[in-house]
Amino acid sequence: MSTSRRAVLGAALGGAAGAAVGLPAPPASAASWQLKWAPSASRDGLGAFETVEDDRANSHPAGRPHIHPTGDNWRFTMHKVDRDTSTDRQRQEVTGLRTSDSGYLKWTQGQTWRITYSMYIPSSLKATTTFTHIMQMKQPGNGTLPIVVQSLRRDGGTSLLERSRELGGGVQTIELKLAIDDILVGRTDLAPLHDKWTDVDFQIKVGNGSAGSVRWILKSGSTTVVDKARTGVDTFLADRVRPKWGIYRSLGDTSGSLQDTYLLLTNLRGYQLV
């Protein structure tokens, strides 16, 4: 992988300006992003994550491992025959940010976190008319609802690139949504991002009610294709927030888009604003 694909997006948050006459002096040090998690697929493998959900229903043993390191990348493979414990959907995901054999990072109320990484979405991983999530923010525990989802979704053909239209499905898009209150943060066409590396920069302030905020940035090479933020939003349910990555999709798609496919991630980094 090229050096440019390994670039970390985590520059420090802007510093304080010089004090002016008659105004209070700026703080001695401004808040900045502190690197807390920097795993390597080749070095840490699946030990980079808090948990691994590889065919937890044991639906396709012959396909294992569905999640594994390959060189500098983590690969998530999804077969059409794979099933989750809820048989109307599929799931191959990892969760959390592990820092040692017994330790992992916990995102709690009032904290602000940032995740940067690169993802490779092949053209076989298509947007669907129901849900296909490739990143989630959730409260840990079985049956908990998602807080934030990054999804591949068909928008009904009402916007963006008409050349992306496929029979029965509308335009393929990638979006970020606040799931608690069904708030769309941003959306862009998926087709131009297929079969290439895309850089992701996701930031979240963990807050209940209206105390939370998010920012979502996607870059393709030197081009910023999305930079959207929402403040005054709910980003907390209970306990803590834990990120998830992989492929989690419904089998209810009506566009014929479900195929054997995969997702690659690399250069995962986690920062806390301190």
3-state secondary structure 51-82: EEEECCCCCCHHHCCCEEEECCEEEEEECCCC
Token readout for 246 is 């992989």
pLDDT of residue 210: 97
Peptide bond into 192 cis (omega under 30): no
pLDDT digits (tens, 9 = 90+) for 10-37: 433 333 333 333 445 555 568 999 999 9
What is the dotted CATH code of the domain comprising 34-273? 2.60.120.200
- Contact call for residues 244 and 107 (beta carbons, < 8 A): no
Tokens in use for 59? 């639906």
Rg of the chain's alpha carbons, rounded to an integer? 19
Q: Which two tokens stand for residue 150?
A: 């990054």
The pLDDT averaged over each successive group of 10 residues in the chain (274 residues) is 42 35 54 97 98 97 97 98 97 98 96 98 97 97 92 72 52 96 96 98 98 98 98 97 98 96 98 98
User: Residue 216 burial by CB count (10 A; 0-12/13-18/19+): exposed, middle or buried?
Assistant: buried
Tell me what pLDDT residue 168 has.
52
pLDDT of amino acid 142? 83
pTM value surpassing 0.75: yes
User: What is the predicted pLDDT for the residue at 24?
Assistant: 52
